[in-house]
Amino acid sequence: MLSIVERCTDQKVKEIFMTQTSRSHTESVSSGLPSLQHKATGRPYPNKTRPLASGPRKFGYAIVGLGGYAVNQILPAFADCQHARLAALVSGSQEKMRRLGKQYGIEENHLYSYEDYDRIAEDPDIDAVYIILPNSLHAEFTIRAFEAGKHVLCEKPMAVTLEECQRMIAAGKKAGKELMIGYRCHFDPLTHKAMAIARGHDLGALRMLKTTISHMLDPADPLGQWRLNAKLSGGGSLMDIGIYGINASRYLLNDEPVEVRASFAPKEKSLFKEVESTILWTMFYRSGVISEGSSSYDACMTSHFSLIGEKAFLDLDPATSYWANKVSLRQSGYTQTWSASMFDIEKLNQFSAQLDYLPISIAKGKLETATAEEGMQDIRLIQAIYESARSGRAVATDWSR
Ligand code: NAD
């Protein structure tokens, strides 16, 4: 079998892996999944703002948008990366960008405003951009990155319409560059454990899935206010956090629904004028499985998935947290008794593993998870759920037919 270096057709990425062959990355390179080198060192209270040590050439990312998620989760995660490094910053705030540039050792010539973003084309240190902007800006900044000849990692939701998703995919194909979506849970070993159980024999035939995800949107927090603006967000809690439940229903059931039905909460706080806070949906599968999901911006923080089979019950609680996910398998007896096995899996840094996955996939010539097609299918299902909630009717989702 050809090695990753021999297979790689992207010359720049090939050089990265050639300089790293002496390091023992075989395990993570072969699967692309987190290895023990993605250890979650010292988090969730990170203070990893030191400049990154210089070493062999790594895959350079420009981070586009320096809001809460970028600053608190993604920038510190480069410290635990094996193949990726922070190469540039793109922001609307010169002051914030200079400050973070200093913290992370990024020189002034690698700092870009949104207006001069297209100049990244001339920056050889940037191999990819990571777009962490409000949802409705994902398509524009992805397409501009492809036109600049860069690969793209784009946050979820991929975009706000199906048509935007199609344009992003077409632009990537035209540029010959990869498009990956920021589905970080795919890089959490706990999610992998849950997937393995869901696809194994422990649960017996699958019957029901329930995904619940919520948090309180803080009206006083200036960051995140775009989430209440339909033009910038494309939707409410479903678009932002309910999407985790939609995506999980696909990776846990390994199936696509044929019909959805949905309802908005009948009464909403006045804060939610343009987008929904709370929504409930049901998805029906040809196999007879039913999956029920809900999301809310007006309830305490939950992220709870449960998959119920004829023999046992798989519980993820929390299911999508940054550092504390838990998976258990419960068997029930006929006499009101339950036994639960909790899986104790070492916590690894899902953010770093996600950042490393793109260069590994480019080198291997194929992205196997968190693909643009997966992102687009989630948007298609979200649109069907909205259509059902607005019309009060069931919506067919059997698009393959
Ligand atoms: P945020 O409000 O904290 O940051 C948004 C950033 O975009 C800010 O720096 C803001 O200045 C900038 N921005 C640029 N143009 C803007 C405009 N026209 N209006 C408003 N802001 C503008 O948001 P966030 O929580 O960092 O979310 C950003 C993206 O990351 C979203 O797509 C969100 O879905 C995604 N996200 C993903 C996760 C995850 O776990 N994968 C977690 C949080 C956020």
274: left (phi over 0), alpha (psi -120 to 50) or beta: alpha
Q: Among 91, 155, 320, 382, which is best to mutate for testing ligand 1, by the most ligand atoms less than 8 A from CB?
A: 155
Instruction: Express each pLDDT in 204-234 by its tens digit.
Output: 999 999 999 999 998 888 877 999 999 999 9
Q: Which of 66, 93, 132 to mutate to test the pocket of ligand 1 (most atoms within 8 A of CB)?
A: 132
Ligand 1, atom 35: nearest CA belongs to which residue? 155
**Model confidence at 52, in pLDDT bands (50, 70, 90)?**
very low
For ligand 1, the distance from its centroid to the CA atom of residue 207, given in whole angstroms, is 36
- Cα–Cα dist 386/261, whole Å: 9
Residue whose Cα lies nearest atom 17 of ligand 1: it is: 134
DSSP secondary structure, 12-28, as one string: HHHHHHHHTTTS--HHH
pLDDT tens sequence across 84-134: 999 999 999 999 999 999 999 999 999 999 999 999 999 999 999 999 999
User: Nearest residue CA, atom 42 of ligand 1?
Assistant: 69
Q: Which residues line ligand 1 (CB under 6 A)?
A: 65-70, 92, 132-135, 137, 155-156, 182, 184, 223-224, 226, 232, 240
Name the residue among 101, 52, 56, 95 with its Cα closest to residue 77. Answer: 52
Q: In the sheet that 151-154 helps form, which strands lie side by side, from edge to edge?
A: 111-112, 84-90, 59-64, 128-131, 151-154, 179-181
One-letter amino acid at 286 equals R
pLDDT bin (cut points 50, 70, 90) of residue 14 is confident
Percent of the chain clearing pLDDT 70 (strictly above): 90
398 against 37, higher pLDDT: 398
- Please report where in the chains the tokens 């992102």 appear, as a residue: 375
Q: Which atom of ligand 1 is nearest to the CA of 96?
A: 9
Summary mean pLDDT of the chain: 90
* Coil/strand/helix, residue 46: coil
* CA angle, 337 then 340 then 345, to 5°: 180
Report which protein residue has its CA nearest ligand 1's atom 6.
Answer: 67
Following CA atoms 118, 120, 121, 127 in sequence, which dihedral angle do they give, to the nearest 10 degrees? -140
Whether the per-residue pLDDT at 255 is higher than 50: the answer is yes
- C-alpha span between 83 and 355 (Å, rounded): 8
Tell me the residue type at 358: L
349: Cβ–Cβ under 8 A, 6 or more apart, which residues?
34, 38, 39, 40, 41, 43, 77, 80
Ligand 1 mutation pick, 135, 191, 226, max ligand atoms within 8 A of CB: 226
Q: Which pLDDT score is estimated for 23?
A: 47
Residue 2 Cα, ligand 1 centroid: separation in angstroms? 40
- Alpha carbon distance 257, 292 (integer Å): 11
Q: Which atom of ligand 1 is nearest to the CA of 93?
A: 11
Q: What are the φ/ψ torsions at residue 320 (nearest 5 degrees)?
A: -130, 25
pLDDT of residue 260: 98
**SS3 state of residue 233:** helix
Point out the least confidently predicted range of 49-58, 135-144, 221-230: 49-58
Q: What is the pLDDT of residue 51?
A: 39
Q: Is 60 exceeded by the pLDDT of residue 382? A: yes
Ligand 1 geometric centre to CA of 366 (Å): 28
What pLDDT band is residue 38 in, cutting at 50, 70 and 90?
confident
> Catalytic residues, which ones?
156, 244
- For a pLDDT cut of 90, what percent of the chain falls above it? 77
pLDDT of 278 over the 50 cut: yes
| Residue of 199 and 23 predicted with greater confidence | 199
